[in-house]
Amino acid sequence: MHTNRFTRIGFILAAAGSAVGLGNIWKFPYITGENGGGVFVLIYLATVVFIGMSVFIGEVLLGSNAHKDAVSTFETLSPKKYKYWKYSGFTFLTGVLILSFYAVVVGWIFHYVVVAATALPSSVQEAENHFMNLLQKDIGTQIFYYTLAFFVIAYTISRGVKKGIETLNNILMPTLIVILAILLIYSVQLEGFSKALSFMFSPDFDKFDSSSLILAVGHAFFTLSLGMVTIVTYAASLDKGVNIVKASITIVIMDTLIAIVSGLIIFSILFSAGQEPGKGAGLVFITLPAVFFEMGSMGIFLAVAFFTALAFAAVTSAVSVLEPTVMYLVERKKMKRKKATYSVALIFYVVGLFALLSNTTEFSSFLTFGSKNVFDWFDFISAAILMPLGGILVAIFVGYIMDKEVSRKALVPHIGENLYQVWLFIMRFVAPLAIFLVMLNEMGVIQF
Ligand code: TRP
Protein backbone atom coordinates (compact mmCIF):
# COMPACT_ATOMS: atom_id res chain seq x y z
CA MET A 1 0.00 0.00 0.00
CA HIS A 2 1.43 3.29 -1.11
CA THR A 3 1.25 5.89 1.61
CA ASN A 4 1.41 8.94 -0.57
CA ARG A 5 -1.62 8.30 -2.76
CA PHE A 6 -5.04 9.81 -3.20
CA THR A 7 -8.15 8.14 -1.89
CA ARG A 8 -10.90 7.85 -4.51
CA ILE A 9 -12.73 10.91 -3.26
CA GLY A 10 -9.43 12.74 -2.76
CA PHE A 11 -8.57 12.12 -6.40
CA ILE A 12 -11.99 13.25 -7.60
CA LEU A 13 -11.78 16.48 -5.62
CA ALA A 14 -8.18 17.14 -6.63
CA ALA A 15 -8.75 16.50 -10.34
CA ALA A 16 -11.94 18.57 -10.18
CA GLY A 17 -9.88 21.18 -8.33
CA SER A 18 -7.48 21.21 -11.25
CA ALA A 19 -10.22 21.37 -13.84
CA VAL A 20 -12.34 23.98 -12.09
CA GLY A 21 -10.40 27.19 -12.33
CA LEU A 22 -10.31 30.57 -13.97
CA GLY A 23 -11.54 28.77 -17.08
CA ASN A 24 -14.88 28.03 -15.45
CA ILE A 25 -15.67 31.10 -13.41
CA TRP A 26 -13.93 33.77 -15.41
CA LYS A 27 -13.43 32.63 -19.00
CA PHE A 28 -16.49 30.49 -19.70
CA PRO A 29 -19.02 33.21 -18.82
CA TYR A 30 -17.28 35.85 -20.88
CA ILE A 31 -16.71 33.75 -23.98
CA THR A 32 -20.34 32.65 -23.71
CA GLY A 33 -21.25 36.32 -23.55
CA GLU A 34 -19.20 37.08 -26.64
CA ASN A 35 -20.44 34.11 -28.64
CA GLY A 36 -24.16 34.49 -28.48
CA GLY A 37 -25.05 32.52 -25.35
CA GLY A 38 -27.19 29.43 -25.91
CA VAL A 39 -25.61 28.15 -29.12
CA PHE A 40 -22.17 28.38 -27.66
CA VAL A 41 -23.23 26.56 -24.49
CA LEU A 42 -24.76 23.81 -26.59
CA ILE A 43 -21.67 23.31 -28.73
CA TYR A 44 -19.46 23.46 -25.67
CA LEU A 45 -21.50 20.73 -23.94
CA ALA A 46 -21.27 18.55 -27.03
CA THR A 47 -17.50 18.96 -27.32
CA VAL A 48 -16.99 18.33 -23.61
CA VAL A 49 -19.04 15.12 -23.73
CA PHE A 50 -17.64 13.72 -26.97
CA ILE A 51 -14.06 14.91 -27.15
CA GLY A 52 -13.07 16.32 -23.76
CA MET A 53 -14.37 13.39 -21.75
CA SER A 54 -12.71 10.81 -24.03
CA VAL A 55 -9.30 12.41 -23.79
CA PHE A 56 -9.79 12.90 -20.06
CA ILE A 57 -10.47 9.18 -19.66
CA GLY A 58 -7.38 8.56 -21.82
CA GLU A 59 -5.17 10.61 -19.50
CA VAL A 60 -6.56 8.95 -16.36
CA LEU A 61 -6.03 5.58 -18.01
CA LEU A 62 -2.34 6.32 -18.65
CA GLY A 63 -1.61 7.55 -15.16
CA SER A 64 -3.53 4.91 -13.27
CA ASN A 65 -1.90 2.13 -15.27
CA ALA A 66 1.68 3.14 -14.77
CA HIS A 67 1.61 4.78 -11.33
CA LYS A 68 4.69 6.76 -12.25
CA ASP A 69 5.74 10.27 -13.19
CA ALA A 70 4.61 11.34 -16.66
CA VAL A 71 7.86 10.59 -18.52
CA SER A 72 8.13 7.12 -17.01
CA THR A 73 4.43 6.56 -17.73
CA PHE A 74 4.88 7.04 -21.46
CA GLU A 75 8.10 5.05 -21.36
CA THR A 76 6.55 2.10 -19.54
CA LEU A 77 3.47 1.96 -21.71
CA SER A 78 5.15 2.26 -25.10
CA PRO A 79 6.21 -0.81 -27.06
CA LYS A 80 9.99 -1.36 -27.31
CA LYS A 81 10.62 0.31 -30.64
CA TYR A 82 8.60 3.38 -29.65
CA LYS A 83 10.44 4.22 -26.44
CA TYR A 84 11.12 7.76 -27.66
CA TRP A 85 7.46 8.42 -26.91
CA LYS A 86 8.63 9.06 -23.38
CA TYR A 87 9.42 12.59 -24.50
CA SER A 88 5.67 13.29 -24.58
CA GLY A 89 5.92 13.25 -20.81
CA PHE A 90 7.87 16.48 -20.96
CA THR A 91 4.68 18.31 -21.85
CA PHE A 92 4.63 19.01 -18.10
CA LEU A 93 6.77 21.99 -19.06
CA THR A 94 3.69 23.58 -20.63
CA GLY A 95 2.17 23.57 -17.18
CA VAL A 96 5.05 25.40 -15.64
CA LEU A 97 4.82 28.03 -18.34
CA ILE A 98 1.11 28.39 -17.60
CA LEU A 99 1.87 28.64 -13.89
CA SER A 100 4.04 31.69 -14.36
CA PHE A 101 1.17 33.80 -15.67
CA TYR A 102 -1.66 31.95 -13.93
CA ALA A 103 -0.08 32.89 -10.60
CA VAL A 104 -0.11 36.54 -11.64
CA VAL A 105 -3.87 36.30 -12.10
CA VAL A 106 -4.20 34.43 -8.78
CA GLY A 107 -2.44 37.44 -7.26
CA TRP A 108 -5.03 39.83 -8.77
CA ILE A 109 -7.80 37.68 -7.32
CA PHE A 110 -6.27 37.69 -3.82
CA HIS A 111 -6.12 41.46 -4.10
CA TYR A 112 -9.78 41.58 -5.17
CA VAL A 113 -10.86 39.59 -2.11
CA VAL A 114 -9.44 42.47 -0.08
CA VAL A 115 -10.95 45.10 -2.39
CA ALA A 116 -14.34 43.40 -2.07
CA ALA A 117 -14.16 43.52 1.70
CA THR A 118 -12.85 47.05 2.04
CA ALA A 119 -13.37 49.33 -0.95
CA LEU A 120 -15.58 48.32 -3.87
CA PRO A 121 -15.39 50.80 -6.76
CA SER A 122 -18.53 52.91 -7.02
CA SER A 123 -18.91 52.91 -10.82
CA VAL A 124 -17.82 50.92 -13.83
CA GLN A 125 -15.46 53.77 -14.73
CA GLU A 126 -13.88 53.71 -11.30
CA ALA A 127 -13.66 49.92 -11.42
CA GLU A 128 -11.86 50.12 -14.72
CA ASN A 129 -9.44 52.71 -13.36
CA HIS A 130 -8.75 50.53 -10.36
CA PHE A 131 -8.03 47.44 -12.44
CA MET A 132 -5.87 49.28 -14.94
CA ASN A 133 -3.98 51.00 -12.15
CA LEU A 134 -3.28 47.65 -10.50
CA LEU A 135 -1.97 46.15 -13.72
CA GLN A 136 -0.04 49.08 -15.08
CA LYS A 137 1.16 51.10 -12.12
CA ASP A 138 0.83 49.32 -8.82
CA ILE A 139 3.81 47.00 -9.13
CA GLY A 140 4.25 46.69 -5.35
CA THR A 141 0.73 45.44 -4.69
CA GLN A 142 0.87 43.06 -7.61
CA ILE A 143 4.19 41.57 -6.57
CA PHE A 144 3.00 41.22 -2.97
CA TYR A 145 -0.06 39.14 -3.89
CA TYR A 146 1.81 37.28 -6.63
CA THR A 147 4.45 36.23 -4.09
CA LEU A 148 1.75 35.15 -1.67
CA ALA A 149 0.11 33.08 -4.42
CA PHE A 150 3.38 31.35 -5.29
CA PHE A 151 4.05 30.64 -1.66
CA VAL A 152 0.68 28.99 -1.08
CA ILE A 153 1.10 26.90 -4.24
CA ALA A 154 4.67 25.80 -3.47
CA TYR A 155 3.95 25.08 0.19
CA THR A 156 1.06 22.79 -0.76
CA ILE A 157 3.13 20.86 -3.29
CA SER A 158 6.09 20.59 -0.92
CA ARG A 159 3.88 18.69 1.52
CA GLY A 160 3.13 15.98 -1.00
CA VAL A 161 0.10 14.34 -2.53
CA LYS A 162 -1.77 13.39 0.61
CA LYS A 163 -0.85 16.00 3.18
CA GLY A 164 -0.59 18.79 0.65
CA ILE A 165 -2.75 18.37 -2.43
CA GLU A 166 -5.48 16.15 -1.00
CA THR A 167 -5.86 18.18 2.19
CA LEU A 168 -6.02 21.47 0.29
CA ASN A 169 -8.66 20.20 -2.11
CA ASN A 170 -10.68 18.49 0.61
CA ILE A 171 -11.09 21.87 2.25
CA LEU A 172 -11.26 24.29 -0.67
CA MET A 173 -13.44 22.33 -3.11
CA PRO A 174 -16.42 21.70 -0.78
CA THR A 175 -16.19 25.31 0.42
CA LEU A 176 -16.17 26.50 -3.18
CA ILE A 177 -19.27 24.44 -3.91
CA VAL A 178 -21.08 25.81 -0.85
CA ILE A 179 -20.23 29.41 -1.79
CA LEU A 180 -21.44 28.92 -5.37
CA ALA A 181 -24.63 27.28 -4.06
CA ILE A 182 -25.31 30.31 -1.85
CA LEU A 183 -24.64 32.69 -4.74
CA LEU A 184 -26.90 30.62 -7.00
CA ILE A 185 -29.77 30.65 -4.48
CA TYR A 186 -29.38 34.41 -4.26
CA SER A 187 -29.31 34.77 -8.06
CA VAL A 188 -32.43 32.67 -8.61
CA GLN A 189 -34.58 35.31 -6.97
CA LEU A 190 -33.09 38.22 -8.90
CA GLU A 191 -35.19 39.62 -11.71
CA GLY A 192 -32.32 38.99 -14.13
CA PHE A 193 -32.35 35.24 -13.51
CA SER A 194 -34.92 34.31 -16.16
CA LYS A 195 -33.07 36.42 -18.69
CA ALA A 196 -29.82 34.69 -17.71
CA LEU A 197 -31.50 31.30 -18.14
CA SER A 198 -32.78 32.08 -21.59
CA PHE A 199 -29.49 33.72 -22.56
CA MET A 200 -27.59 30.57 -21.65
CA PHE A 201 -30.04 27.93 -22.76
CA SER A 202 -32.07 29.13 -25.72
CA PRO A 203 -29.89 28.61 -28.76
CA ASP A 204 -30.10 31.14 -31.54
CA PHE A 205 -28.75 29.24 -34.53
CA ASP A 206 -28.17 32.36 -36.58
CA LYS A 207 -25.23 32.99 -34.31
CA PHE A 208 -23.78 29.58 -35.01
CA ASP A 209 -20.53 29.73 -36.88
CA SER A 210 -17.43 27.60 -37.16
CA SER A 211 -15.34 29.93 -35.02
CA SER A 212 -17.57 29.23 -32.00
CA LEU A 213 -17.08 25.54 -32.66
CA ILE A 214 -13.31 25.88 -32.62
CA LEU A 215 -13.41 28.05 -29.54
CA ALA A 216 -15.57 25.47 -27.79
CA VAL A 217 -13.17 22.61 -28.56
CA GLY A 218 -10.23 24.66 -27.32
CA HIS A 219 -12.06 25.59 -24.17
CA ALA A 220 -13.19 22.01 -23.51
CA PHE A 221 -9.50 21.12 -23.41
CA PHE A 222 -8.43 24.04 -21.30
CA THR A 223 -11.17 23.65 -18.74
CA LEU A 224 -10.48 19.95 -18.23
CA SER A 225 -6.74 20.63 -17.75
CA LEU A 226 -5.85 18.32 -20.64
CA GLY A 227 -2.72 18.28 -22.77
CA MET A 228 -0.08 18.86 -20.14
CA VAL A 229 -0.03 15.56 -18.23
CA THR A 230 -1.62 17.14 -15.16
CA ILE A 231 -4.41 14.59 -15.12
CA VAL A 232 -1.97 11.80 -16.03
CA THR A 233 0.13 12.76 -13.02
CA TYR A 234 -2.77 13.03 -10.57
CA ALA A 235 -4.10 9.67 -11.78
CA ALA A 236 -0.66 8.17 -11.16
CA SER A 237 -1.22 8.81 -7.48
CA LEU A 238 -4.62 7.10 -7.51
CA ASP A 239 -5.03 3.93 -5.50
CA LYS A 240 -5.67 0.75 -7.47
CA GLY A 241 -9.18 -0.62 -7.89
CA VAL A 242 -11.01 2.64 -8.55
CA ASN A 243 -13.54 2.73 -11.40
CA ILE A 244 -11.74 5.28 -13.56
CA VAL A 245 -14.63 5.83 -15.95
CA LYS A 246 -17.03 6.69 -13.18
CA ALA A 247 -14.45 8.94 -11.53
CA SER A 248 -13.75 10.72 -14.84
CA ILE A 249 -17.44 11.24 -15.56
CA THR A 250 -17.97 12.66 -12.07
CA ILE A 251 -15.11 15.11 -12.54
CA VAL A 252 -16.26 16.22 -15.98
CA ILE A 253 -19.82 16.73 -14.71
CA MET A 254 -18.59 18.76 -11.73
CA ASP A 255 -16.47 20.92 -14.00
CA THR A 256 -19.33 21.53 -16.43
CA LEU A 257 -21.91 22.22 -13.73
CA ILE A 258 -19.63 24.72 -12.03
CA ALA A 259 -19.05 26.56 -15.31
CA ILE A 260 -22.78 26.75 -15.98
CA VAL A 261 -23.67 27.78 -12.45
CA SER A 262 -21.00 30.50 -12.56
CA GLY A 263 -22.44 31.73 -15.83
CA LEU A 264 -25.95 31.83 -14.37
CA ILE A 265 -24.78 33.70 -11.27
CA ILE A 266 -22.76 36.26 -13.20
CA PHE A 267 -25.40 36.89 -15.88
CA SER A 268 -28.26 37.13 -13.36
CA ILE A 269 -26.36 39.77 -11.45
CA LEU A 270 -25.37 41.61 -14.64
CA PHE A 271 -28.82 41.56 -16.23
CA SER A 272 -30.45 42.68 -12.99
CA ALA A 273 -28.16 45.69 -13.00
CA GLY A 274 -28.98 46.42 -16.64
CA GLN A 275 -25.50 45.51 -17.91
CA GLU A 276 -24.70 43.70 -21.12
CA PRO A 277 -22.98 40.29 -21.30
CA GLY A 278 -20.38 40.72 -24.04
CA LYS A 279 -17.84 42.63 -21.96
CA GLY A 280 -14.87 40.34 -22.52
CA ALA A 281 -12.14 39.67 -20.04
CA GLY A 282 -13.00 42.67 -17.87
CA LEU A 283 -16.35 41.15 -16.89
CA VAL A 284 -15.18 39.77 -13.57
CA PHE A 285 -12.63 42.42 -12.58
CA ILE A 286 -14.42 45.53 -13.84
CA THR A 287 -18.16 45.15 -14.40
CA LEU A 288 -18.95 42.86 -11.47
CA PRO A 289 -17.22 44.87 -8.71
CA ALA A 290 -19.15 47.97 -9.77
CA VAL A 291 -22.42 46.03 -9.77
CA PHE A 292 -21.65 44.64 -6.32
CA PHE A 293 -21.13 48.18 -5.06
CA GLU A 294 -24.62 49.15 -6.23
CA MET A 295 -26.05 46.41 -4.02
CA GLY A 296 -24.90 48.00 -0.76
CA SER A 297 -23.84 45.84 2.16
CA MET A 298 -25.37 42.73 0.57
CA GLY A 299 -23.05 43.45 -2.36
CA ILE A 300 -19.99 43.43 -0.11
CA PHE A 301 -20.96 40.02 1.23
CA LEU A 302 -21.59 38.67 -2.29
CA ALA A 303 -18.37 40.17 -3.61
CA VAL A 304 -16.25 38.63 -0.87
CA ALA A 305 -17.96 35.28 -1.40
CA PHE A 306 -17.49 35.51 -5.16
CA PHE A 307 -13.81 36.42 -5.15
CA THR A 308 -13.07 33.87 -2.44
CA ALA A 309 -14.65 31.19 -4.62
CA LEU A 310 -12.61 32.41 -7.57
CA ALA A 311 -9.42 32.37 -5.46
CA PHE A 312 -10.06 28.81 -4.27
CA ALA A 313 -10.78 27.61 -7.79
CA ALA A 314 -7.61 29.23 -9.11
CA VAL A 315 -5.32 28.01 -6.32
CA THR A 316 -6.38 24.36 -6.67
CA SER A 317 -5.70 24.61 -10.43
CA ALA A 318 -2.36 26.31 -10.02
CA VAL A 319 -1.23 23.64 -7.56
CA SER A 320 -1.97 20.92 -10.09
CA VAL A 321 0.17 22.62 -12.72
CA LEU A 322 3.28 22.32 -10.59
CA GLU A 323 2.89 18.70 -9.46
CA PRO A 324 3.88 16.96 -12.75
CA THR A 325 7.28 18.66 -12.86
CA VAL A 326 7.93 18.04 -9.18
CA MET A 327 6.89 14.40 -9.41
CA TYR A 328 9.25 13.98 -12.36
CA LEU A 329 12.19 15.44 -10.41
CA VAL A 330 11.38 13.36 -7.34
CA GLU A 331 10.98 10.06 -9.17
CA ARG A 332 13.47 10.27 -12.01
CA LYS A 333 16.07 12.63 -10.61
CA LYS A 334 15.73 11.39 -7.03
CA MET A 335 15.45 14.89 -5.64
CA LYS A 336 13.83 15.51 -2.28
CA ARG A 337 10.28 16.78 -2.71
CA LYS A 338 10.91 20.00 -0.79
CA LYS A 339 14.02 20.81 -2.75
CA ALA A 340 12.40 19.94 -6.08
CA THR A 341 9.34 22.06 -5.29
CA TYR A 342 11.17 25.14 -4.13
CA SER A 343 13.73 25.07 -6.94
CA VAL A 344 11.10 24.80 -9.67
CA ALA A 345 8.87 27.32 -7.93
CA LEU A 346 11.72 29.79 -7.59
CA ILE A 347 12.71 29.57 -11.23
CA PHE A 348 9.16 30.07 -12.39
CA TYR A 349 8.53 32.75 -9.84
CA VAL A 350 11.24 34.75 -11.54
CA VAL A 351 9.97 33.92 -15.03
CA GLY A 352 6.46 34.92 -13.95
CA LEU A 353 7.77 38.26 -12.70
CA PHE A 354 8.56 39.14 -16.31
CA ALA A 355 4.98 38.33 -17.24
CA LEU A 356 3.76 40.50 -14.40
CA LEU A 357 6.04 43.40 -15.28
CA SER A 358 5.20 43.19 -18.96
CA ASN A 359 1.73 44.57 -18.17
CA THR A 360 3.11 47.63 -16.41
CA THR A 361 3.61 50.97 -18.12
CA GLU A 362 7.13 51.25 -16.80
CA PHE A 363 8.44 47.97 -18.22
CA SER A 364 6.06 47.09 -21.02
CA SER A 365 8.25 48.43 -23.79
CA PHE A 366 11.18 46.25 -22.71
CA LEU A 367 8.95 43.24 -22.37
CA THR A 368 6.94 43.41 -25.55
CA PHE A 369 8.09 41.38 -28.50
CA GLY A 370 6.29 41.83 -31.77
CA SER A 371 2.57 42.02 -31.27
CA LYS A 372 2.43 40.75 -27.69
CA ASN A 373 3.94 41.34 -24.30
CA VAL A 374 5.45 38.50 -22.29
CA PHE A 375 2.21 37.82 -20.40
CA ASP A 376 0.26 37.41 -23.64
CA TRP A 377 3.04 35.38 -25.26
CA PHE A 378 3.01 32.87 -22.41
CA ASP A 379 -0.74 32.61 -22.68
CA PHE A 380 -0.59 32.27 -26.45
CA ILE A 381 2.27 29.76 -26.60
CA SER A 382 0.74 27.53 -23.95
CA ALA A 383 -2.92 27.68 -24.97
CA ALA A 384 -2.54 27.86 -28.74
CA ILE A 385 0.46 25.64 -29.35
CA LEU A 386 1.72 23.53 -26.46
CA MET A 387 -1.59 22.47 -24.93
CA PRO A 388 -3.15 21.29 -28.21
CA LEU A 389 0.13 19.56 -29.02
CA GLY A 390 0.02 17.72 -25.70
CA GLY A 391 -3.59 16.75 -26.37
CA ILE A 392 -2.77 15.35 -29.79
CA LEU A 393 0.16 13.38 -28.39
CA VAL A 394 -2.04 11.75 -25.76
CA ALA A 395 -4.76 10.91 -28.29
CA ILE A 396 -2.26 9.39 -30.75
CA PHE A 397 -0.38 7.53 -28.07
CA VAL A 398 -3.50 5.96 -26.62
CA GLY A 399 -5.14 5.44 -30.00
CA TYR A 400 -2.21 4.05 -32.01
CA ILE A 401 0.98 3.46 -30.05
CA MET A 402 0.01 1.84 -26.79
CA ASP A 403 -1.02 -1.80 -26.77
CA LYS A 404 -4.82 -1.90 -27.19
CA GLU A 405 -5.05 -4.61 -24.55
CA VAL A 406 -4.13 -2.05 -21.90
CA SER A 407 -7.03 0.25 -22.69
CA ARG A 408 -9.38 -2.63 -23.43
CA LYS A 409 -8.70 -4.25 -20.08
CA ALA A 410 -9.16 -1.00 -18.22
CA LEU A 411 -12.29 0.22 -19.99
CA VAL A 412 -14.40 -2.66 -21.36
CA PRO A 413 -15.42 -3.94 -17.91
CA HIS A 414 -16.88 -0.50 -17.19
CA ILE A 415 -18.36 0.60 -20.50
CA GLY A 416 -18.71 -2.55 -22.64
CA GLU A 417 -17.22 -3.35 -26.05
CA ASN A 418 -19.42 -1.04 -28.14
CA LEU A 419 -18.76 2.12 -26.19
CA TYR A 420 -15.12 1.15 -26.04
CA GLN A 421 -15.05 1.15 -29.86
CA VAL A 422 -16.69 4.58 -29.92
CA TRP A 423 -14.11 5.87 -27.44
CA LEU A 424 -11.27 4.42 -29.50
CA PHE A 425 -12.65 5.99 -32.66
CA ILE A 426 -12.74 9.39 -30.95
CA MET A 427 -9.17 8.99 -29.69
CA ARG A 428 -7.89 7.91 -33.10
CA PHE A 429 -9.70 10.23 -35.44
CA VAL A 430 -12.02 12.83 -33.96
CA ALA A 431 -9.86 14.19 -31.16
CA PRO A 432 -6.56 14.60 -33.07
CA LEU A 433 -8.32 16.26 -36.00
CA ALA A 434 -10.41 18.58 -33.84
CA ILE A 435 -7.42 19.60 -31.75
CA PHE A 436 -5.30 20.16 -34.84
CA LEU A 437 -7.92 22.54 -36.22
CA VAL A 438 -8.00 24.41 -32.91
CA MET A 439 -4.25 24.77 -33.05
CA LEU A 440 -4.19 26.10 -36.61
CA ASN A 441 -6.98 28.49 -35.80
CA GLU A 442 -5.38 29.81 -32.62
CA MET A 443 -2.07 30.26 -34.37
CA GLY A 444 -3.82 32.28 -37.02
CA VAL A 445 -2.82 29.91 -39.83
CA ILE A 446 -6.45 29.51 -40.75
CA GLN A 447 -9.36 31.62 -39.62
CA PHE A 448 -12.73 30.04 -39.06
N1 TRP B 1 -8.48 23.90 -16.09
C2 TRP B 1 -8.05 25.16 -15.59
C3 TRP B 1 -9.17 26.14 -15.64
O4 TRP B 1 -10.25 25.86 -16.08
C5 TRP B 1 -6.91 25.76 -16.34
C6 TRP B 1 -5.87 24.84 -16.78
C7 TRP B 1 -5.58 24.49 -18.03
C8 TRP B 1 -5.03 24.09 -15.99
N9 TRP B 1 -4.61 23.58 -18.06
C10 TRP B 1 -4.26 23.30 -16.82
C11 TRP B 1 -4.89 24.00 -14.64
C12 TRP B 1 -3.36 22.42 -16.33
C13 TRP B 1 -3.99 23.11 -14.16
C14 TRP B 1 -3.23 22.32 -15.00
O15 TRP B 1 -8.96 27.26 -15.23
CA of 316 to the centre of ligand 1 (A): 9
pLDDT surpasses 70 at 290: yes
Q: What is the mean pLDDT of residues 191-208?
A: 87
Q: Picking from 203-207, 289-293, 294-298, which range would have the lowest pLDDT averaged per residue?
A: 203-207
Sign of CA dihedral 128, 106, 54, 390: positive
Residue 431 CB: number of other CB atoms within 10 A? Answer: 27
> pLDDT tens-digit profile of 332-348?
999 999 999 999 999 99
Q: What confidence score (pLDDT) does residue 203 get? A: 82
The four Cα atoms 434, 439, 442, 443 give a dihedral, to 10 degrees, of -150
Q: Is residue 448 domain-resident?
A: no
- Residue 3, domain member (yes or no): no
Per-residue pLDDT band at 182 (split at 50, 70, 90):
very high
Here the CATH number for the domain that contains residue 335 is: 1.10.4160.10
pLDDT at residue 61 in the model? 97
Give per-residue pLDDT as tens, 127-173.
999 999 999 999 999 999 999 999 999 999 999 999 999 999 999 99
Q: Which three-class secondary structure state does DSSP give residue 6?
A: strand
Q: Is the CB of residue 325 below 6 angstroms from any atom belonging to ligand 1?
A: no
Whether the per-residue pLDDT at 204 is higher than 80: the answer is: no
Evaluate whether residue 32 is within a structural domain: yes
pLDDT of 4 reads: 80
Contacts of 75 (CB under 8 A, 6+ apart): 83, 85, 86, 89
Domain hosting 181: range is 8-443
CA of 79 to the centre of ligand 1 (A): 30
Q: Which of 27, 225, 435 to mutate to test the pocket of ligand 1 (most atoms within 8 A of CB)?
A: 225
Give the least confident one: 99-108, 205-214, 389-398.
Answer: 205-214
422 pLDDT more than 80: yes
Instruction: State which of 98, 317, 379 you would mutate to test the pocket of ligand 1, scoring each by most atoms of that ligand within 8 A of its C-beta.
Output: 317
The Cα-based distances of 101 to 20, 68, 374 in angstroms read 17, 27, 9
State yes or no: pLDDT of 1 exceeds 50.
Answer: no
Q: Which atom, in ligand 1's list, is nearest to the CA of 224?
A: 1
Between the CA of 293 and the centroid of ligand 1 the distance, in Å, is 30
In this structure, is residue 1 part of a structural domain?
A: no
What is the reported pLDDT for 277? 80
Report the number of distinct structural domains present in the chain: 1
